[in-house]
């Protein structure tokens, strides 16, 4: 990995990390939804600093160039993130349903 | 005469044109039976008309779908101590003269769930070939799994007892198109299911849950739901009358 690529990757990793921590600090992002982003930032940082690891992983997954490995893991990350949010949304949908039903039943009871 | 309390649940979404007629017909055939209209976030005068016709009304804050409206009715029935519930559509498709028959049959305690089947009745019910295929497919799958003939797994005209109510108020109830998967779920939970013949009228406003691309989603959802229902652990302990 060229030095310039390493610097760019480290910079992006640091920006992700700082942004997430700042969002959590300002309570704009809940801790429970921040971990996946922090793990990604940390992963990017490790790959950027330890270029030998990226080469090893590239060989392991059968990719020809390191950039393919980065794209591969980027796509995996997006899939995992979407799945995670689908699970969260499903839980929210169930909670909203139950809350709406309770609200409707309570309104009926108070009107009696 | 029935000593137990019975409730008719009508999930309704923008049914201002039909709801008064439906409630009126229920009253005509069943006297002073309790009626609950679950207003599923209607933007028209459905809840006002239903209340004026003497029905209790529970209004959901926004449109959440047929299954959620039905489950809201089940929760209401359970809390108010009803023994039996008859559920029917608000569009006038279900003939209220069968409510008495439903209550008579369920009071015999030979079944926990009664499904009103339009295909057991002598009167012909006309449907498109695509819908007939879908209905036949899922009725066939249900029949095969529960080892009992089911002719109308998509019928929303049903009667259930208190134990089933207790089962349906849980989060295991599939609010998204509750159909054949519910029949299988009930069977796995140990409930006894029976069909009785009813006459259903064609939906004259053509307002159905199964229009547009929804049939495709319905088929997908039903296959997935049946598959995962069979993979899950059998629900147990809901049919209390079986223990007594």
Q: What is the residue range of A51's domain? A: 3-84
The answer to whether residue A104 is domain-embedded is: no
The answer to whether residue A10 is domain-embedded is: yes
Minimal C-alpha gap between B1 and chain A (Å): 28
- Which residues, at least 6 apart from B38, have a Cβ–Cβ distance to it below 8 Å? A104, B9, B10, B11, B12, B57, B58, B59, B60, B69, B70, B72, B73, B76
* CATH architecture assignment, domain B6-242: Alpha-Beta Complex (3.90)
3-class SS of residue B118: coil
Q: Say if CB B58 and CB B91 are below 8 A apart.
A: no
User: Looking at chain B, which runs of residues are DSSP E strands?
Assistant: 6-12, 34-39, 56-59, 84-87, 113-117, 158-161, 193-197
Average pLDDT over every residue of A6-26: 91
Minimal C-alpha gap between B69 and chain A (Å): 8
Domain coordinates in residue numbering, chain B: 6-242
Task: Look over chain A and give the mean of its residue pLDDT values, rounded to a whole number.
Answer: 90
Minimal C-alpha gap between B72 and chain A (Å): 6
The answer to whether residue A95 is domain-embedded is: no
Q: Which residues does chain A have within 8 Å of residue B13's beta carbon, measured at their own beta carbons? A: none
Q: Say if CB B87 and CB B103 are below 8 A apart.
A: no
The answer to whether residue A9 is domain-embedded is: yes
The answer to whether residue A31 is domain-embedded is: yes
In whole angstroms, what is the distance from residue A79 CA to residue A87 CA? 12
In whole angstroms, what is the distance from residue B165 CA to residue B77 CA? 8
Q: Say if CB A1 and CB A15 are below 8 A apart.
A: no
pLDDT at B13 over 90: yes
Mutation for B interface: A90, A96, A101, most B CBs within 10 A: A101
Interstrand relation of B158-161 and B113-117 (parallel, antiparallel or unpaired) = antiparallel
The answer to whether residue A13 is domain-embedded is: yes
Q: pLDDT digit string (tens) for B55-99?
A: 999 999 999 999 999 999 999 999 999 999 999 999 999 999 999
Give residue A54's pLDDT.
87
Average pLDDT over every residue of A58-72: 88
Q: pLDDT digit string (tens) for B122-138?
A: 776 777 787 788 888 99
Mutation for B interface: A94, A97, A102, most B CBs within 10 A: A97
| 8 Å CB contact of B62 and A104 | no
Task: Look over chain B and give the mean of its residue pLDDT values, rounded to a whole number.
Answer: 89
Per-residue confidence band for B242, with pLDDT thresholds at 50, 70 and 90: low
Q: Which residues does chain B have within 8 Å of residue A101's beta carbon, measured at their own beta carbons? A: 60, 68, 71-72, 75
Please identify which residue in the block is written with the tokens 């939906």: B203
Residues of A with CB under 8 A from a CB of B: 94, 97-98, 100-101, 103-105, 107-108
Q: Which residues does chain B have within 8 Å of residue A104's beta carbon, measured at their own beta carbons? A: 38, 58-61, 72
| 8 Å CB contact of A104 and B56 | no
| 8 Å CB contact of B61 and A108 | no
- Closest by Cβ to A103, choosing from B61, B68, B76: B61
First vs last C-alpha separation in chain B? 24
| 8 Å CB contact of A100 and B56 | no
Strand partners, B10: B37
Give residue B82's pLDDT.
96
The answer to whether residue A111 is domain-embedded is: no
Domain total in chain A: 1
Give residue A33's pLDDT.
84
Give residue B1's pLDDT.
46
Give residue B119's pLDDT.
87
ipTM of this model?
A: 0.84
Per-residue confidence band for B157, with pLDDT thresholds at 50, 70 and 90: very high
Q: Which residues does chain A have within 8 Å of residue B57's beta carbon, measured at their own beta carbons? A: 108
Per-residue b or e along B1-13, where b marks 16 or more CB atoms closer than 10 Å to that residue's CB: eeeeebbbbbbbb
Mutation for B interface: A90, A94, A96, A104, most B CBs within 10 A: A104
Minimal C-alpha gap between B234 and chain A (Å): 21
Give residue A82's pLDDT.
92
The answer to whether residue A94 is domain-embedded is: no
């Amino acid at each position: 990995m060229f030095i310039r690529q390493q610097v760019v990757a480290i910079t992006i990793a640091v920006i992700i990390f700082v942004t997430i921590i700042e969002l959590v600090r300002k309570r704009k992002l809940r801790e429970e939804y921040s971990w996946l982003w922090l793990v990604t930032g940390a992963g990017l940082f490790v790959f950027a600093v330890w270029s030998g690891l990226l080469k090893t992983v590239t060989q392991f997954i059968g990719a020809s160039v390191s950039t393919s490995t980065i794209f591969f893991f980027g796509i995996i990350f997006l899939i995992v993130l979407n799945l995670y949010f689908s699970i969260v949304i499903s839980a929210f949908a169930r909670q909203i349903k139950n809350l709406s039903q309770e609200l409707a039943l309570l309104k009926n009871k108070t009107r009696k | 005469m029935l000593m137990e309390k019975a409730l008719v649940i009508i999930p309704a979404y923008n049914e201002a044109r039909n709801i008064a007629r439906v409630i009126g017909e229920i009253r005509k055939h069943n006297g002073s039976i309790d009626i609950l209209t679950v207003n599923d976030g209607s933007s028209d005068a459905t809840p006002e008309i239903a209340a004026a016709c003497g029905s209790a009304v529970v209004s959901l804050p926004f449109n959440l779908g047929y299954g959620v409206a039905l489950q809201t009715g089940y929760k209401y029935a359970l809390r108010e101590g009803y023994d039996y519930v008859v559920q029917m559509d608000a569009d006038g498709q279900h003939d209220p003269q069968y409510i008495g028959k439903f209550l008579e049959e369920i009071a015999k305690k030979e079944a926990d769930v009664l499904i009103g089947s339009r295909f057991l009745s002598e009167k012909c019910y006309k449907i498109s070939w695509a819908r007939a295929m879908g209905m036949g497919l899922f009725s066939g799958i249900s029949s095969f799994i529960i080892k009992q003939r089911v002719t109308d797994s998509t019928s929303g005209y049903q009667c259930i007892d208190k134990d089933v109510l207790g089962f349906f108020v849980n989060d295991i109830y599939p609010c998204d198109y509750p159909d054949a998967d519910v029949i299988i779920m009930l069977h796995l939970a140990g409930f006894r299911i029976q069909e009785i013949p009813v006459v259903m009228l064609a939906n004259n406003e053509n307002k159905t849950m199964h229009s547009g691309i929804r049939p495709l989603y319905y088929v997908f959802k039903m296959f997935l739901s049946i598959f995962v229902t069979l993979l899950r652990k059998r629900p147990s302990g809901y049919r209390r009358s079986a223990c007594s």
